[in-house]
């Protein structure tokens, strides 16, 4: 009876180790987009106005890092893509929170409401006046 319990315990431990090791690598190694969970828009008290987006989210493991941040604008819509890179080492699957502050290129924009999309998470801000220095 003791030998049978020891065998069952040994098999359970071996299966647990195999299960843990199988989760040690990312499913899609290489470059992916970051999992953004929230944005915060900061309008700095300056003139011309400066606008920053604080993007927060989670990386799938400590072996994945922010690789590139791409920003574009089409009229009143800012599109930001945060790309990650996985270095393809054996890595434990442990959620790794991140926070990135991104300065938006808002100089010269007219007054109005602007939309911001960071990896699918939407937010907006309003410029009350044209964001350009007036020369006298």
Is the four-CA dihedral 21, 26, 27, 30 of positive or negative sign?
negative
Residue numbers of the chain with a pLDDT score lower than 70: 1-29, 88, 136
Angle among Cα 122, 123, 125 to the nearest 5 degrees reads 150
Please tell me the predicted confidence (pLDDT) of residue 121: 97
**In the chain, what are the domain boundaries?**
26-127
pTM of the model: 0.74
pLDDT in tens, 41-74: 999 998 899 999 999 999 999 999 999 999 999 9
């Amino acid at each position: 009876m003791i030998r049978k319990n020891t065998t069952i315990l040994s098999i359970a431990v071996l299966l647990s180790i195999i299960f843990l090791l199988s989760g040690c690598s990312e499913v899609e190694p290489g470059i992916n987009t970051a999992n953004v969970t929230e944005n915060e828009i900061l309008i700095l008290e300056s003139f011309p106005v400066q606008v920053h987006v604080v993007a927060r989210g989670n990386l799938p493991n400590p072996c994945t890092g922010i690789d590139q941040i791409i920003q574009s604008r089409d009229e009143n819509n800012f599109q930001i893509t945060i790309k990650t890179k996985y270095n393809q080492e054996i890595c434990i699957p442990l959620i790794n929170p991140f926070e990135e502050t991104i300065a938006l290129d808002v100089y010269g924009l007219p007054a109005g409401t602007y939309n911001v999309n960071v990896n699918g998470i939407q937010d907006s801000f309003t410029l009350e006046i044209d964001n350009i220095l007036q020369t006298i």
